[in-house]
C-alpha cells in the first residue's frame, strides 16, 4: 500500500508527463498553429474573402494577393511578438471580414495597388493577433509554419470557390458568398460593440 502511495506521489511529481498547455513540442506546436486561424470564425471569413476577391479580380491579383498577404501578415505578427501596442486589433479583424466581403459582394474592381493596400492593412491586424498569442511552450517553427500554412490554405479555398466567377451563375454564387461574409463581419463588429 505504501509502495502504491509512493509510486502515485512520484508520478504526480513527474514534470514531463504533465502537459498543462496544449501545443507543446513539434507536433503540438504545428497543430496549435494550424488550428489558430481555423478556430476563429472572423479569421476564416476574412481569409476566404481575400481568396474570393483575388479570384474575382483575376490576374495579376489572383497571384499577388496570396503571395503578399503572408509576408505583410508576418510584419503584423512581428509587432505582436514584440508586444508593440496596436489599438483595435479585434475591431480591425472583424472589419476586415465586413469590408472584404463587401468588396466581393459589390464586385468591386479598384486598381491593384488599392486592393493590395486594403488587404495588406487588414493582414497586419490578423498577423498581430496570431503573433501576440504565440504560446510559450510551443515549437516556434512548427507553430508559425502551421498558422501560415492554414492561412494560405484558407486563401486557396477562397480562390478555388472564386474561380466559379468565370460562369454567370457562379458569379452570382461568389457574390452571395461575399454578402454572407460581409454580414458575418457586421455581426462580429456588433458583438464587439
Partner 1 sequence: MMRMRAAFAALVLLAAPEAAQAHVVIEGMSGFSGGLLHPLLVPAHILALLGGGLMAGCQSRRDGIALIAIFAGSLGVASGLVATAYAAQEPGLVLLAATAIAGLGAAYGRPLPLPASAIVVGLVAIALLLDSVPAVPSRAETMLALSGTALTAIALFAFVTMLSVAARPGWPRTGIRIAGSWCAASALLVLVAQLAR
Which phi and psi (to 5°) does residue 108 adopt? -70, 135
Q: Within 31-70, which residues bind partner 1 (CB under 8 A)?
A: 63, 66-70
Is position 162 an interface residue for partner 1 (rule: CB under 8 A)?
A: no
Q: How far apart are CA 74 and CA 68, in angstroms?
A: 10
Query: Of 151, 60, 46, nearest to 95 (Cα)?
Result: 46
Is position 18 an interface residue for partner 1 (rule: CB under 8 A)?
A: no
Instruction: Identify the residue among 28, 40, 131, 158 touching partner 1 (CB under 8 A).
Output: 131
Instruction: Identify the residue among 114, 141, 160, 172 touching partner 1 (CB under 8 A).
Output: 141
Closest approach of partner 1 to the CB of residue 189, in Å: 27
Give me the helices (H) in 14-165, please: 25-38, 41-57, 61-82, 89-105, 112-132, 140-162
Q: How far apart are CA 170 and CA 191, in angstroms?
A: 31
Question: For residues 26 and 172, which CB has a smaller minimum distance to partner 1 in the complex?
Answer: 26
Interface residues toward partner 1, by CB under 8 A: 6, 10-11, 13-16, 26, 30, 63, 66-71, 73-74, 77-78, 81-82, 131, 134, 139-142, 144-145, 148-149, 152
Amino acid at each position: 500500500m505504501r509502495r502504491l502511495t509512493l509510486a502515485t506521489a512520484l508520478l504526480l511529481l513527474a514534470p514531463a508527463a504533465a502537459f498543462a498547455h496544449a501545443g507543446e513540442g513539434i507536433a503540438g506546436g504545428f497543430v496549435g498553429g494550424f488550428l489558430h486561424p481555423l478556430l476563429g470564425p472572423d479569421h476564416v471569413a476574412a481569409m476566404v474573402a481575400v481568396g474570393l476577391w483575388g479570384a474575382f479580380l483575376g490576374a495579376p491579383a489572383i497571384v499577388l494577393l496570396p503571395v503578399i498577404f503572408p509576408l505583410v501578415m508576418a510584419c503584423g505578427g512581428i509587432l505582436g511578438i514584440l508586444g508593440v501596442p496596436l489599438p483595435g486589433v479585434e475591431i480591425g479583424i472583424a472589419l476586415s471580414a465586413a469590408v472584404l466581403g463587401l468588396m466581393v459582394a459589390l464586385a468591386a474592381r479598384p486598381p491593384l495597388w488599392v486592393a493590395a493596400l486594403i488587404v495588406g492593412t487588414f493582414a497586419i491586424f490578423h498577423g498581430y493577433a496570431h503573433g501576440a498569442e504565440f504560446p510559450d511552450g510551443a515549437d516556434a517553427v512548427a507553430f508559425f509554419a502551421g498558422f501560415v500554412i492554414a492561412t494560405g490554405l484558407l486563401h486557396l479555398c477562397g480562390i478555388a470557390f472564386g474561380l466559379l466567377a468565370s460562369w454567370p451563375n457562379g458569379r452570382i454564387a461568389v457574390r452571395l458568398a461575399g454578402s454572407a461574409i460581409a454580414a458575418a463581419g457586421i455581426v462580429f463588429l456588433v458583438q464587439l460593440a
